[in-house]
Chains A and B, each alone.
Chain A
Amino acid sequence: MPSLSMPKVMRLACAALALSFAVPVLAQQQVVIVTSFPKELTAAYKKAFEAKNPGIKVEILNKPTPAGVAYIREAPANNKPDVFWVSAPDAFQVLSQEKLLARIETPAKEVPNKIGNYPINDPKGYYLGQALAGYGMMWNTRYMKANKLPPPKEWADLAKPIYFGHVAISSPSRSGTTHLTVETILQGEGWEKGWRQMLMISGNCAAITERSFGVPDGVNSGQYGIGLVIDFFGLAAKSSGFPTEFVYPSVTAIVPANIGLVAGAKNPENAKKFIDYTLSPEGQELLFDPQISRLPVLPSVYAKAPAGFPNPFTGKIKPKVNFDSDLSESRYYVVSSLFDQTITFRHKELTQAAKAINNAAAKLAGKDQAQAARLLEEARELAYSPVVSDLKARDKEFLALYRNTKRDALKTKQITALEEYWGNTARKNYARAIELANQAAALAK
């Protein structure tokens, strides 16, 4: 009888397979990093760190910032990731508030305390600044030329009618950097004026992209004309040869991109080594790679910067906004939700309203028609006012509703009811604005 019949072979194969599970699990040391950074950056750091520390494997978990926060929150106690590394300081504030970060000492004593008025490292000691970033606009020069558009200088420029359909932005609920951009505008211009500007800019947007990378990628390929981006998106694209330009508007903030140690991390020693590496001169110099193009926090490495590289310590970038990350943290989920309900998910109606308003405004230009002008103003009020007033936005109880995670059925009900109300109000406002704008246009004959 055949000695090596099928069942025996299969049994052997199963045993081998089972053994192979054990092997990787018993294997190397590792450090697990949750990050939203693009692969160009993470691959460079992984390679450099592993070369310096043979025996430690760097495991990258690539997640959009809000998903990274949720992941750390939900990770079981015996398997927390080690490092959290994203651009948005307010995400760190959220984790810090929920006691999900561990205190760490900075290895780099030469890092200044502040950039402008903003502390580079967390004053409470829960996270460290690893790079600096401003926020601005990037555009595709060919697109602008083909569509005869002047390059923008300030956020407010993007609200102008000529840019209708040429702009792109991502959503604060999907992108930490976009969240920061929106917060910067809100803090710089105030709640009401800031939202007005956001709504007008979004009305000009051709798309609200799913992840932050969709914006620079769209601008690079010429799909969109202008994108609201964190500075290194624009700088890296230009350095890589794409026909793009980048500018910092005056209403910008320079804030640190941070790195932190997760509380209860599985590999805290390795995590500390990695964090120390990212703040070492060698680790900081990696940021100058044209495909990465981030601003280091160590002033001394700027001596080795490529020509034309922005230096935030010389004061050439003049940020007008003193970013308050406590304020940002207190209304983190409210801002995300409001943006989604009134802009992201109502984008079609918003753009239609913007189109109708621009159309009516063009028809009324130069004419002296009081009634039509009044109708148009009303339309603008409806379309571009935030559905949550400044007063409400400061109400502690209102903010507390969103503060904790949504587990409770009652809380879910309250929040969904609120979101539903915002979405509906926005939709009705946009519809009415379209009506009024069309009436105004009809009167302008």
Chain B
Amino acid sequence: MSRRYNLPQATLALVIALFLLVFLVVPVFTVMFVAFTNSDGSLTFAHFRSFFQLTLMREAFYNSLYVGGMSVVVSSIFALPLAYFTARFQFRGAMLIQTLGVLPLIMPPFVGATAMQLLFGRSGSLNLILGDWFDLNLPLMEGLNAVIFVEALHYFPFILLNLTVALNNIDSAMEESAQNLGASGFRLFRRIVFPLALPGYMAGAALVFLKVFDDVATPLVLNVTDILAAQAYFRITSIGIDDPIGYVASVIMVIASMAALWGSTWVMRGKDYATLQRGGSSLATRKLGPWQALFAYGWIVLVLLLVLSPHLGLVLLSFSKMWSFTVIPEAYTLDNYAAVFRDSPFMLWNSLLYCGIAAGLDVAIGTAIAYLMLRTNLPGRRLLDFIASAAVAIPGVVLGIGYLRTFRGFDLPFTDLPFVSFWMIIAFAFTVRRLPYALRSCVASLQQLHPSMEEAAENLGASNRRTIFRIVVPLMAGGILAGFVTSFLTAAVEISATLMLVSATSDAPASYGIYLYMQSIVGRGPGAALGVITVLLVGLGTYASHRIMRARSLRFETLQLLK
């Protein structure tokens, strides 16, 4: 087969491979290595045996699985009816559901947890009212239930969005055939519609499980310490970087995450879910009957109120001078915001810097890998894609531990600053963690681009490099921008790896700043203010990117139609 790559491309691939090696592969393997070896380097399972002999660790493992699984269940309870309504019925509330799908994602769960404690906690607004009226106290925020509640409320959009897209892609021909054969109503849903939407559901469910399993800050804020991520964090920070149990916990977290991802694809294996037409006419929509309308709108309002509660609680807390054992704060002030603007703009700048670098590197690497994958036959390109995508299964805590261990003793060249104290390591952690999303975006974007454009350019005499920069990249711009924005915004709320890697307060990004501010003995108002500012910036960024992308995609669709 003729070679379809050149030296610059091969060099590029090598550089990317080196980056991934140093900042992803080696740290993860270091963690695994330490978990499986003695201090003299000999192979051993003793650490694993010790781990499983510790009741606490077994319980932490079980609790992590339980919380992850239940979060998927509760998220599904939130998301399934909403997805069903949008797909099946003519619905004026579709815009509302779309908002529901985005609102939770702009706030990191550990920030929402604080606000939800004030609203739903044992002396929170809800229970104070219930106590007064009905002498009732709902333990919504006790123990593992609190974690499940908070996580499900923040991550159900993954299931909602994936499921909605999947349902919208179902060809109506399938449904019509089934109806012709006599199926209707629930049977139709159960045997035709839902199975066809299953890949979307499984993708969303796996993602929810992964993110919940990985989350270390939310349980910490809720004082839940008997889950795996928290235990790994404690053991490495309080006992030491050499504590083997922490590494065993990390390995187990990685295995569980990978199992979730591959398990969801494995279930789908061997079942062909492609339908004949894509984006053709989708499921027939019906009008809502009166009872159905009541249930639908009622459910939407309920979910909307729940989704808004952490945002509302956070805003109230940010303006509160004092909120103690009352339904709403009794004294308000702007001092919290004043304190944040006075003391911590540097944290927002840090976030901007780290996330900007991460997003920039992500789209650069993502575009490069996409091009190498789809336009060349460079050997090893699929491996590169695989490794870059595998980063999604590496929990942030594990990556952080891996960095601390791998780069221990390394100094930044020409200086005597240890690499682990250098802020760039945080940016690299963000880069690696968010690369899979940017990569998928770039690949999808390049896949839509027909090679004939490039062939035409080359026919006209353009060199390969010129073609890439003047034809391919501009046509991919929508996908690249989408990838950049996703990377940036999700890096802005990253906390798991940050907790492990940040030392100096002056290097702290906004997410760590919020965590730090919450450790206050005179009220969490300033922490909430910083939280609100961060959420607003992330929300505005999401909205702006949506608008830009809609404008571009409209333009692109027009271009396509002209072909």
A residues at B contact (CB < 8 Å) = 5-7, 17, 21-22, 25, 32, 38-40, 42-43, 57, 59-64, 66-67, 70-71, 73-74, 76, 78-79, 140, 142-143, 146, 173-174, 206-211, 213-214, 216-217, 220-223, 232-233, 236-237, 240-243, 291, 341, 344-345, 348, 405-409, 412-413, 416-417, 419-420, 423-424, 427
Distance in angstroms between the alpha carbons of A348 and B139 in the assembled complex:
14
User: A6-B469, A40-B522 provided; 12 other pairs, C-beta below 8 A?
Assistant: A21-B424, A25-B417, A40-B520, A59-B506, A62-B516, A220-B324, A345-B226, A409-B38, A412-B50, A413-B50, A419-B56, A423-B56
Distance in angstroms between the alpha carbons of A21 and B411 in the assembled complex:
13
Given that A60-B505, A79-B418 are known contacts, is A237 also in contact with B521, CB under 8 Å in the complex? yes
Distance in angstroms between the alpha carbons of A146 and B135 in the assembled complex:
12
Chain B residues, CB < 8 A from A413: 46, 50
Distance in angstroms between the alpha carbons of A66 and B506 in the assembled complex:
22
Q: Which of B39, B241, B325, B343 meets A143, CB within 8 Å?
A: B325
Chain B residues, CB < 8 A from A146: 325
Sorting the interface of chain B by its residue count into under 10, 10 to 19, 20 to 34 or 35 or more gives 35 or more
B325-A62 in contact (CB<8A): no
Q: Which of B53, B238, B357 meets A66, CB within 8 Å?
A: B238
Given that A59-B505, A79-B417 are known contacts, is A7 also in contact with B469, CB under 8 Å in the complex? yes
A157 to chain B, nearest CB (A): 21
Given that A222-B325, A223-B122 are known contacts, is A208 also in contact with B223, CB under 8 Å in the complex? yes
Q: Which of A6, A59, A78, A409 meets B411, CB within 8 Å?
A: A78
Chain B residues, CB < 8 A from A78: 411, 416, 418
Distance in angstroms between the alpha carbons of A209 and B117 in the assembled complex:
14
Given that A25-B412, A221-B118, A243-B324 are known contacts, is A236 also in contact with B239, CB under 8 Å in the complex? no
A242-B38 in contact (CB<8A): no
B123-A143 in contact (CB<8A): yes
Minimum CB distance partner of B343 in chain A: A43
Given that A7-B469, A43-B343 are known contacts, is A140 also in contact with B325, CB under 8 Å in the complex? yes
B239-A70 in contact (CB<8A): yes
B404 to chain A, nearest CB (A): 9
A145 to chain B, nearest CB (A): 9
Distance in angstroms between the alpha carbons of A111 and B523 in the assembled complex:
33
B421 within 8 Å of A (CB atoms): yes
B291 to chain A, nearest CB (A): 41
A305 to chain B, nearest CB (A): 19
Residues from 298 to 325 in B contacting A, C-beta threshold 8 Å: 321-325
B242 within 8 Å of A (CB atoms): yes
B395 within 8 Å of A (CB atoms): no
A423-B55 in contact (CB<8A): yes
Distance in angstroms between the alpha carbons of A413 and B516 in the assembled complex:
35
B44 within 8 Å of A (CB atoms): yes
Given that A5-B469, A73-B240, A406-B242 are known contacts, is A210 also in contact with B521, CB under 8 Å in the complex? no
B325-A407 in contact (CB<8A): no
A210-B465 in contact (CB<8A): no
Minimum CB distance partner of A290 in chain B: B522
A44 to chain B, nearest CB (A): 11
B340 to chain A, nearest CB (A): 12
Chain A residues, CB < 8 A from B123: 143, 221-223
B520 to chain A, nearest CB (A): 6
A344-B122 in contact (CB<8A): no
Residues from 200 to 239 in B contacting A, C-beta threshold 8 Å: 220-221, 223, 225-226, 230, 234, 237-239
A3 to chain B, nearest CB (A): 13
